[in-house]
Chain A
Amino acid sequence: MYRHSHCEGFQQDPTAQELGLAGPEGGLGPLEQLVAWMRKRSLFVLAFGTGCGAIEMRPLMTSRFDAERFGIVNAATPRQADVLVISGYLAIKTLKRVIRSYEQMQEPKYVIALGSCTINGGMYWDSYNTVKQVHRYLPVDMYINGCMPRPEALIEGFVALQGRIARGEPGGYQRYRERIDWYKANQRRVLGDNMLPDYTYDWYHAGGIA
């Protein structure tokens, strides 16, 4: 029953998982701690409503769950967002837009992917046009599983992310910057000719991190 589609079979990046989960090396200075705390307390979310997860994102902001008490607010444009939430299954066509949005966000930036579909394709496991493992294309900081995860689960995921931010653990964005060629190669494999223009990621090669 299992069919290989052309978006399968990538070279697995062995360090990918460890890098993100690795603990903090050395402590943070007081200013860094303060900044990290501010970052933790204020997360502007760009909710990319790719699938049914979009439905689950809405209650998060409503009176019942009230994510705002954690400082989590919706942002309108990627320029202002800190967290990109990929909510649900991700078609290849959408992937391009997601990548574009992610690259437009200003660092530090984090990616939360929610739902089984983002992890392994979920019920679209054999679809020809669904991305099975999002972390091959974008540095996912946090997967929240479930089909779909309830808002409580989302809040838990966010709180976990906040914890990591407060601890100053390196975010996925650093990984993305360091391994840009690998990510781009993967993206190119699925997007092919439909690849984003060069200028959208050229600057990653320029180096120079403040």
Chain B
Amino acid sequence: MTALVKLLFLAASLSPAATLLVWDGALAWPLFGDVTLLFDLAPLSAFFLLLVALGAPLAAIPMLRDDAEWPTYALYALLLVGMQVLLLAGDFIGLFVGWEIMTWSSYLLLLRSPRTTLATAQSYILLNLLSAFALLGGILVYYSLTGGFAIQAVADLGPWQGLALIGPLALAFLIKVGTVPLHLWVPCSYDEAPDTFSAVLSALLSKMGIYGLILLLTLLPGGLAGGLSGGLGGLYGHLLDGPAAGYVLGWIGVITSIVATFKAIAQEDMKRLLAYSSIAQVGYITTAIGVGSSLAIGGALFHALVHTLIKLLLFTTIAGIVLRTGLRSFKDLGRLIYRMPISFFGVLIGIIGLAGMPPLPGFASKYLIFVSLIDARWLLLLAAMILSSTAAFLYCYRLIYAPFLGHANSPQARTATEAPWQYLVPEVVLMGLLVALGLFPGLGVRLFVDPVLTALGLTPLGSPSWGELATPYGGYDGVVVMAVFGGAFVVVTSLFFLLRGRMRQAASPYDLSYAGEVPDETTPLHYGAGMGRELRRIPLVAWILGHSTQGLYAGLVRQTQAAAGLLAGLYSGRPQVWILLAVLVFAAALTVQLLAGGI
């Protein structure tokens, strides 16, 4: 029975892939009036469906290990259905339906975790519903402008109409993406969600916001096809060589990534760190979308792909650690490299990608985004992005140091074993995909990015060979980089062994150069907990870390509750008061009406 359920679940997780492969033609489902659900697979949505198709089974395999019952499976399948509806939708109603199904099914999945607190659950669902309702508001504005729901560029749009249309839609998508003042729900929900589900949240759900943002650009007059004259540039003019409205979006994205990066450095919990890192990474994508050029959109799409793979890998690996140790805080772990070597490599590949280091594809996407920023001559944005992307090294390092290196800080960490195969299989697959994509960024561009760019009416990036990523500003060859580095590594290592002298293994982890002292288990040797604390002495970082949007939201909640309390006073439970109020209202209304009636 359980095996059957699990098999069914696995089959369900393959459904996005099946849809991607099998879908052709369009399907219409009438609701009422002229409101119809149209299903159609455009190249842009096919790209994101590809992400889902890749991610869904890989995230599903670890769930098989969970002793989760059928509700989890059912909700996950529902979530996949929601995402497919969202992506297949040819009109806004379908988009919204998918969006909402995705929202609430993921919320219910979030509740499956015993760690979810009320605050987390509420912030997740409320902000996501705010996003959904903003989306609906925007859709209705769109409807009133065009008289239909089909997703297509608006023919003619004044600046104010544009604002009325873009405002709510952008709000909706930015919440989903988790840009800075609206990111409250991201860290806590990614952190407290079931460990295997966090991967889906970060890898797939956040991409739907990206999809929306790109979709939003295609709505504007001329879409993206008109280059700078179309899209955001067409509405609000240019700034340097890019659209002025995009410049705002770019700064939103960059500020998001800076703030999130520093917050990530300050986290004590692995999953929380990853959550903030997701926010930061998606911030880059947001910036790239703001630039809106062919290079930038290409970079955004490529980064979306890479980030999906990386976050799946990292969250799955971390879930494996949590599964085996029951611990998730940096200060409790350490030295797992000998206990969980494959997981170590998973995290290693993951952080190399996250940091955007050259051999892996994280560099390719960042390269495209950087070049697009130079192309748009938005150098200040570029500098800010560099800040967050170098600061990211710190949390990347922490992510690998604290659990895997250093010293084991708890009995669980000393006795942990390698994660079960359900975790390792996706990890290995993802590592392979990342390395392959790093070797052949040109192929990735050719296969995944260029069709979308062509469909959006942008110039495809093109690539002379599989390994080469080419831009008008120059490119690089992933195969060559990898080959040179690998060759150098082999040569250097062999030369090293040719040297004479004996190599001695330290007999104990405590054999340290420690000022002549002999440390032992009780010595606080693991630097995982405090790493990055010195950063607080830098004024900017201290300012960022010292502030939080939590207070803002808490204040909002307090005010609402106060209002609720005030109004609840009306519902006093005393009939005489009810009657008095009714009579007073009656009398007052009568007076007003009679006076207004001019009698």
A113 to chain B, nearest CB (A): 16
Closest A residue to B501 using CB positions: A210
Q: Is residue A101 within 8 Å, beta carbon to beta carbon, of the partner chain? A: yes
Q: Which of B118-126, B324-332, B513-521 contacts A (4 or more CB under 8 A)?
A: B513-521
B502/A100 in contact, CB under 8 A: no
Of A97, A98, A104, A199, the contact of B508 (CB 8 Å cutoff): A199
Identity of the chain B residue whose Cβ is nearest the Cβ of A100 in the assembled complex:
B516
**Residues in A whose Cβ lies below 8 Å from that of B518:** 100, 196-197, 200
Verify A97–B513 contact, CB threshold 8 A: no
In the complex, number of A-B residue pairs with CB atoms less than 8 Å apart: 36
Say yes or no: A202 contacts B517, CB within 8 Å.
Answer: no
Centre residue among B501, B504, B516, B518 by max chain A CB count within 10 A: B516
- The residues in B between 481 and 502 inclusive whose CB is less than 8 angstroms from any CB of A are 500-502
Please determine whether A97 and B507 come into contact, CB atoms closer than 8 angstroms: no
Does B511 reach chain A (CB closer than 8 Å)? yes
Report the interface size class on chain A: 10 to 19
A196 to B520, CA, bound (A): 11
A31 CA / B504 CA spacing, docked (Å)? 23
Chain B positions within 8 Å of A98 at CB level = 516
Q: Are A79 and B507 in contact (CB under 8 A)?
A: no
Task: Tell me which residues from 155 to 210 in chain A have a Cβ below 8 Å from any Cβ of chain B.
Answer: 196-197, 199-200, 202-203, 208-210
A197 touches B516 (CB 8 A): no
Q: Give the distance in Å from the alpha carbon of A77 to the alpha carbon of B513 in the complex.
A: 7
Please pick, from A78, A100, A200, A203, the residue contacting B504 in the complex, using a CB distance under 8 A.
Answer: A203
Question: CB < 8 Å: which of A104, A202, A208 contacts B513?
Answer: A104
A101 touches B516 (CB 8 A): yes
- Would B502 and A210 count as touching, CB distance under 8 A? yes
Query: Judging by beta carbons under 8 Å apart, are B516 and A202 in contact?
Result: no
- Check A79–B502 contact: CB distance below 8 A: no
**Cβ–Cβ < 8 Å partners of B502 in chain A:** 208-210
Alpha-carbon distance between A81 and B100 when the two chains are bound, in angstroms = 65
Q: Which residue of B lies closest to A103 (CB)?
A: B511
Q: How far is the CA of A104 from the CA of B511 in the complex (A)?
A: 8
Could you say which residues of chain A place their CB within 8 Å of the CB of B508?
A: 197, 199
By the criterion CB–CB under 8 Å, are A202 and B507 in contact? yes
- Which of B504, B510, B513, B515 counts the most A-chain CB atoms under 10 A from its CB? B513
Residues of B within 8 A of A97 (CB): 515-517
In the complex, what residues of B have CB within 8 A of residue A197's CB?
508, 510, 518, 520
How many residues of B are in contact with the other chain, CB < 8 A? 14
Q: Report the bound CA distance from A203 to B504 in whole Å.
A: 8
A44 to B513, CA, bound (A): 16
Cβ of A101 to closest chain B Cβ, rounded Å: 5
Kindly provide the distance from the CB of B345 to the nearest chain A CB, expressed in whole angstroms. 28
Min Cβ gap B501→A in Å is 5
In the bound complex, CA of A101 to CA of B504 (Å): 16
Complex CA distance for A77 and B512, rounded to whole angstroms: 10
Q: Within residues 8 to 41 of chain B, which ones have a CB less than 8 A from any CB in chain A?
A: none
Residues of chain A contacted by B501 (CB below 8 angstroms): 210
**Nearest A residue to B515, CB-CB:** A97
Is A79's CB under 8 angstroms from B517's CB? no
Q: How far is the CA of A197 from the CA of B519 in the complex (A)?
A: 10
Nearest Cβ in chain A — how far from B407, in angstroms?
15
B507 near A199 with CB under 8 A, answer yes
Complexed CA–CA distance, A48 and B502 (Å): 26
Contact A100 B500 (CB under 8 A): no
> Would you call B511 and A210 a contact (CB within 8 A)?
no
- CB contact between A199 and one of B511, B516, B517 (< 8 Å): that residue: B511
In the assembled complex, which residues on chain A have CB atoms less than 8 Å from the CB atom of B517? 97, 100
B503 — nearest CB in chain A belongs to which residue? A210
Which residues of the partner chain A approach B504 to less than 8 Å between Cβ atoms?
Answer: 203
Interface string of A81-116 (1 = CB under 8 A from B): 000000000000000111011001000000000000
Contact B513 A78 (CB under 8 A): yes
**Alpha-carbon gap, A78 to B515, bound state (A):** 9
The smallest beta-carbon distance between B57 and chain A, in angstroms, is 47
In the bound complex, how far is the Cα of B521 from the Cα of A197, in angstroms?
13
Q: How far is the CA of A197 from the CA of B520 in the complex (A)?
A: 10
Known: A210-B501, A210-B502. A200 touches B513 (CB 8 A): no
Closest partner residue, chain A, to B506 (CB atom):
A199
CA distance in complex: A100, B502 (Å) = 20
Chain B nearest Cβ from A37, distance in angstroms: 16
State whether A200 touches B516 (Cβ < 8 A).
no
On whether the beta carbons of A210 and B500 are closer than 8 Å, the reply is yes
Q: Which of B500, B513, B516 contacts A79 (CB 8 A)?
A: B513
Known pairs A97-B516, A98-B516, A208-B502. 19 more at Cβ < 8 A?
A48-B516, A77-B513, A78-B513, A78-B516, A79-B513, A96-B516, A97-B517, A100-B516, A100-B518, A104-B511, A196-B518, A197-B508, A197-B520, A199-B508, A199-B510, A199-B511, A203-B504, A203-B507, A210-B500
The 6 closest A-B pairs by CB, nearest first: A97-B516, A210-B502, A199-B507, A199-B508, A77-B513, A101-B516
| 24 pairs of residues in contact across A and B, judged by CB atoms under 8 Å | A77-B513, A79-B513, A96-B516, A97-B515, A97-B516, A97-B517, A98-B516, A100-B516, A100-B517, A100-B518, A101-B516, A104-B513, A197-B508, A197-B510, A197-B518, A199-B507, A199-B508, A199-B510, A200-B518, A203-B504, A203-B507, A209-B502, A210-B500, A210-B501
Residues of B within 8 A of A (CB): 500-502, 504, 507-508, 510-511, 513, 515-518, 520
